[in-house]
Amino acid sequence: MSGVGIANRLAMVTIVVPDYDEGLAFFVGKLGFALVEDTPLDAQKRWVVVSPGGGAHLLLARAANDDQVAAIGRQAGGRVGFFLQTDDIVQSLDLLKQSGVAIERPMRHESYGSVLVFRDPFGNLWDLIEPAAQSKIEKVA
C-alpha cells in the first residue's frame, strides 16, 4: 500500500518501565527480543532499544517522574496496546509459559487468525497473533 504521508514505516515505540534492567530482563530474557542498543546518556538515563526481529523496535524508557510512574502498565488505558505476530502460536505459547509470562486470555481462533493475550510484568496487555493465511495483518506488515 503506498500513499502520500510523512513516513513510510513506524520505526520505534516507547514503553515506560520502572527500571531499564527490569525491562531488559523481560523483553530480552523472557520474550527473546534482541538488544539493539544500550547507550548511557548521563548518570540517570540510557537509550535502550530492543527488537522482536522485525517491525518496530521498542525504546525502553525508565519512568523519571510521578506522571511517568503512573503510566507504567497503563500506556493503553487498560486495553491491549501492543501486538506481536508469530508463525507458530502453539510453540510461542509454550515458550511464554516456560518463561513464566502471565497469560491473560487463552488462545482463541478468530477470522483473522489465532490470538492470545498476555500481560508483561509492568501491567501492559499484549496480543500475540498467528495470522490466518492472507489476512489483513499480513498484507499490512
So where are the chain's domains?
Answer: 1-72, 74-141
pLDDT at residue 106, rounded to an integer: 96
pLDDT at residue 139, rounded to an integer: 46
pLDDT at residue 3, rounded to an integer: 63
Tally of helices (H runs) and strands (E runs) in the chain: 4, 8
pLDDT at residue 133, rounded to an integer: 80
From the options 3.40.980.10, 3.40.50.1220, 1.10.3720.10, 3.10.180.10, give the CATH code of 74-141. Answer: 3.10.180.10
d(CA 49, CA 38): 7
pLDDT at residue 135, rounded to an integer: 47
Edge-to-edge strand order for the sheet containing 102-110? Answer: 80-85, 125-131, 113-119, 102-110
pLDDT at residue 5, rounded to an integer: 86
Q: Is the pLDDT of residue 7 over 90?
A: no
Q: Are 102 and 93 in contact (CB under 8 A)?
A: no
What are the angstrom distances between the C-alpha of 127 and each of 2, 54, 115, 119?
26, 16, 7, 9
Question: What rounded mean pLDDT belongs to the chain?
Answer: 92
d(CA 17, CA 23): 6
In DSSP terms, 46 is beta-bridged to 40
- Ranges 3-7, 111-115, 117-121: which has the least confidence: 3-7
pLDDT at residue 8, rounded to an integer: 87
**CATH superfamily label, 1-72:** 2,3-Dihydroxybiphenyl 1,2-Dioxygenase, domain 1 (3.10.180.10)
pTM score: 0.88
pLDDT at residue 2, rounded to an integer: 57
